[in-house]
Amino acid sequence: MDIAQKLADISFRGGQRFNGFPVRDSLTFSVQVLPANQQFLSSTIDGDDLVLGFASDKSGTATVTVTATDRSKNTS
């Protein structure tokens, strides 16, 4: 997602169903922001939600990668 203007914090809901079963029962999520030393974006996984926080006085470019891992340790 390219962010071309100043935004409030964003939260993405992950509690939907996937192929007929609840995502939270079968997938574990992790998030990585690169470069790791940037200071304008924070990210966390809170339950089923991806929460991105933007510093009000900073700007820059970062890549956010969300990884889903299933019970068999397969990732996507």
Q: Give residue 57's pLDDT.
A: 86
Task: Specify the pLDDT at position 3.
Answer: 47
Grouping H, G, I as helix, E, B as strand and the rest as coil, residue 74 is coil
The domains of the chain are located at 10-70
The mean pLDDT value for 4-19 works out to: 50
In tens, the pLDDT along 14-42 reads 555 445 555 556 778 889 999 999 998 99
Task: Specify the pTM.
Answer: 0.64
Residue 51 — pLDDT band, cuts 50, 70, 90? confident
